[in-house]
Amino acid sequence: MKVIGRFLARGIDALLPIGVTVYVIYWLAYYGDKFFGDLIYPIVPEDYFWPGVGLMAGVLALLLVGLFASILPGRLLFGTIERICMRIPLVKTVFRSTQDFTRLFISPHEGDEFGEVVWVPIGDLHVIGFITRGPTYGAASANDRIVAVYISMSAGIGGFTVYLPRSKLEPTGLTVEEAMRLVMTAGVSTTERTRAEPPPSA
């Protein structure tokens, strides 16, 4: 029975990640294709409407929007929309929060500590945190200025925002993607273990 159980566990270990990945990709593709397909159905001849056309249209639309947002007219347009959104109380909160969260995981941050993955000391413990664009206190060039750090809970369910002196934070050497994978798996992920070594307790 132990041998059977070991092989059964090995089979689950081999197939479950593949199955979940395939399902998530299928779910995104299916509903993305359906959503964009419903949008373009009135303007696409029925003979040219086949499964996947909606998804391709969605990807093309994102590429075109990204291209447009990269040139001067697009920057002016989206800048105007952003300024309008920032003037409306409730809309401002939702818009800014979504914008910052999206940029944290998508936009590059070369030369900017926004999105930097750091060790956050909590007593004798250390947790992984992400420096955000929250308010900072103190001189920008001072190492003891207070910065906002987001601490995600395991499995991605909620989190906390704390404010600590920059001098108490130490870099992990991880990218945002690597750190989130390590946090969301509750430390089970082994890929980043050799790089993410907590500093010694004080």
Residue 51 · residue 32 · CB < 8 Å: no
Model pLDDT, residue 111:
47
Distance of CA 30 to the CA centre of its chain: 22
Q: Confidence class of residue 106 from pLDDT cuts 50, 70 and 90?
A: low
pLDDT tens-place string over residues 125-177: 888 888 876 666 666 666 677 888 888 777 656 678 888 888 888 888 887 77
Per-domain boundaries in the chain: 2-105, 117-184
pLDDT tens-place string over residues 39-51: 777 776 666 667 7
pLDDT tens-place string over residues 174-194: 877 778 777 777 666 655 555
Instruction: Tell me the pTM.
Output: 0.52
Q: Is 43 helix (H, G, I), strand (E, B) or coil?
A: helix
Residue 154 · residue 186 · CB < 8 Å: yes
- On the 0-12 / 13-18 / 19+ scale of CB atoms within 10 A, 103 is middle
Q: What region does 90 belong to: left with phi over 0, alpha with psi -120 to 50, or beta?
A: alpha
Q: What distance in Å separates the CA atoms of residue 49 and residue 32, rounded to the nearest whole number?
A: 15
